[in-house]
Structure formats: C-alpha cells, structure tokens
Amino acid sequence: METYAEALTYAIPGFIVLIFIEYLIGRWKGVQVNQSMDTISSISSGITDSLRSLTGLAVIIISYDWMVAHIALIKIESSLLVYILTFIGLDFVGYWSHRFNHTINLFWNRHIIHHSSEEFNLACALRQSISAIVSIYFFLYIPLALLGIPASVVALVAPIHLFAQFWYHTRLINKMGLLEHIIVTPSHHRVHHAINDEYLDKNYSQIFIFWDKIFGTFQEEIPEKPPVYGVKKQVNTWNPFLINFIHVWGILKDSWRTKNVFDKIRIWYMPTGWRPEDVKEKYPIKIITDPYTREKYQTESSLLLKIWSWIQLIITIALLYYLLISFGDLDFIEIINYAIFLVVSIFAYTSLMDRNIISIYVEFIKLSLGIYFIAKEGNWFGIDAILSGMTTIIFIYIISSFIISTYFQFIERKYVTRTSKSTM
C-alpha cells in the first residue's frame, strides 16, 4: 500500500493539471466541458476510491500469488517481453470484467459510478467504484498465472494500465486516424459512455480496441448521433457514496417486493436493468427513452455555494495529500481514522451540494471526529512536525465547515428560494 500511496503522490497532481488544461482548452474553443458541481463530485469520487485502496478494503477470493504458485505451467523470467505480455493480459482481463459489469444486474453496481456523470470529461474518469469490495474476477487471471508471470510484475503493470485509461475521457479530441484501429480513443469511449440506443453496451475495451472487434461489441461514433452521457436511470445526486450503492439498493427493494420466489433470486443475475413484472407494474421507474430531451440533474447552486464546494474539495485534496506523504509514518489505525474523517467530510459537502438536510448531521459527525482526533493526540496526525501551527488551522476549518454548511442549508437556501419565487 505504501508503494501505491507514493504512486498517487505523482498521479493526483498530474490528473488535476490535465483536468485544468482541458478546462482551459474548452474555454478557448468555446466548448463547456465542465460543470462545477459535476466536476467536484467526480474528483471527490476519485478520492473515495483512493481511500478504499489505501485502507486495503478488499476481499480476495483467490489471490494471484496462489494461482501462480499452484497452476503455473512455465516460469517466465522478468524481461521486456514479460511486461508486454502482462499489459496485454491485463487488457484482456479488463475487457471481460468490464463487459460482465455492464451485462449482469448485480455487477452493474460495481460500475455505475463511472457512468453516472452526465458530462464527459477527464474528471469523470476519476469516478471509480468503492462498492467493488470483493474481487470476483480472479478466474480471468488464469492465462497470466499459467504463463507463470510473477505477481510483482502484475502489481507494477496494473496501476500503469489503469492510469493509461484516463486521457481518452474527453470531448475535445476528434478521431485519430490510424490509431482508431489500434487503441481506444476518445471517440470510441464517447460511444461507450453514451445512453443513445445505438451506443449502449459497446466498446468495452480499455487500451486496445481490437477486443471489441474480435468479440462483436464495437461501435463507431456516428456524426449524426451525438452521444448523450449518463445512465438510463438518472442517479440525481452529487454524493459519490449514494451513487455507489444506488443500484444494489434498487435490486434489494425489488427482490423484497416481488411475490415471485424465483424472481427474488434471479433478479441479481439477470441482464442489467431487469425487474420482475409485478414490481415493474406496481413500482414504475423513470427511464430515459429519448436522450436528446433528457434534462441534466441540477440543484439550487448559488455562486457562493459553488465557491464553498470548491474550497471543500481543495482542502480535502490537501488533507489527502498529507495522508499520502505520511503513509509510511502512520500506523494502520491512524490511517483508518484519517480515511474515516475524509469519507465523512466528502459525504457532508456533496450532500450539501444536493441541498440534502442530512449534510448538517454528517457535518456534526465530522466536527465531533475532528475534535476527538485532535484532543486524543494533541495534534492532527503529526502534521505540526512538518508545518507548525497546522493543527490549529485544521481545527478552525472543521468548526467553520459546520457553521458555513449550516448557513447554506438554513439561511442562504431560504433567501435563494424567496428570490427565485419573486422573479417568477
């Protein structure tokens, strides 16, 4: 985990710089590629995924180490060829795991967060799942294990393979000539993120587009059919935690409500979106049928609230960065406590972005946790050893966060509502 934390200290600034460059180019071209609340939600989702990885929140049914030790037919020594084979092998794994996530009802919950943005930009690439706690696709690694590719090589190549999928989440790059036939390009991936009927469940490839062409899931972007992004059943929230579990919650309710015992079981493994007939009739769900008339999710967002939400995100990134650079100096319980605080903080300010009253209760929990952690050790996880006086600044921030959030929820919101009514 310490190695991954070190990798993130380089990756996170790189991602943020590229997101900002995309924003500037979009402004220069007159194309709006970012919407404040959506971008904040996307980056916040990336932070939650990083915290899940750093805390080791994963259940591995069969480890890759075990498979190599027990089923390897040959042993390949480390060389350039091994790294190339590993990269291609991981891409094959990525294609099929991606396809399973799209086509099996329960597994869609592992991936819905990535498609939940109704924009398509570099920030939405950071929407990664925290609900995929159980590693269920171990069997896809069998070809790599049979070749005896060392686990250390897989561990090194995997984050490179993941980070290499970031760049093509953009609307600012058109078709790329010869590369369109070799790698996944922005055009290919725009198709994948679209909810247009002609684009649904296409282009699952992650790096090499030929997997889709081999397995019959390729679809070219059609100029006359501009992609519309998001999911068919809108999530209608900026809160990444709610998005991560919204689909499985829907399945659970349908499973409980249906009177058909067989349907209670098979709903989990039917094609994505399948619902029992009796439940579908009694509890209808609004599904987007015409993407071109779809209205994007919006909330009452004054300029002040947008500024405050950006401030919350910037502070959260700064606190995360301190966790990353101090990862080796903190014990496991400290890392867990720090992660819990950041999780609560993200839940609070993204709920405030939704104008959900629960934000105040979660802000109070955040305030209580912050005071407890500081009182327990006399400082904020040893930060004063690096920057003197930072504990005091963090303490002031935690109190201010509660007060300002209360203002937005109970005072500013009433003023915005009265103003909007008076102008109608």
Q: How many CB atoms lie within 10 A of CB 372?
A: 12
Please name which of 201, 25, 211, 207 lies closest in space to residue 121, comparing C-alpha atoms: 25
d(CA 194, CA 227): 5
Predicted local confidence at residue 363, as pLDDT: 98
- CA 356 to the chain's CA centroid: 21
d(CA 251, CA 180): 37
Segment holding 60, helix H or strand E: strand 59-60
- CA 259 to the chain's CA centroid: 35
Q: Which two tokens stand for residue 368?
A: 């209580």
The angle subtended at Cα 17 by Cα 154 and Cα 295, nearest 5°, is: 95
**pTM summary value:** 0.93
pLDDT tens digits, the chain, 424 residues: what are they?
Answer: 667 788 888 889 999 999 999 999 999 999 999 999 999 999 999 999 999 988 877 777 788 888 998 888 887 777 888 999 999 999 999 999 999 999 999 999 999 999 999 999 999 999 999 988 888 888 999 999 999 999 889 989 998 999 999 999 999 999 999 999 999 999 999 999 999 999 999 999 999 999 999 999 999 999 999 999 999 999 999 999 999 999 999 999 999 999 999 999 999 999 999 999 999 999 999 999 999 999 999 998 899 999 999 999 999 999 999 999 999 899 999 999 999 999 999 999 999 999 999 999 999 999 999 999 999 989 999 999 999 999 999 999 999 999 999 999 998 876 655 544 443 3
Predicted local confidence at residue 415, as pLDDT: 63
Q: Which two tokens stand for residue 211?
A: 């997997």
CB contact set of 172 (below 8 Å; sequence gap of 6+): 22, 25, 26, 29, 31, 33, 186
First and final CA of the chain: distance in angstroms?
Answer: 55
Residue 135 three-state SS:
strand
213 — phi, psi (to 5°)? -70, -35
d(CA 122, CA 366): 30
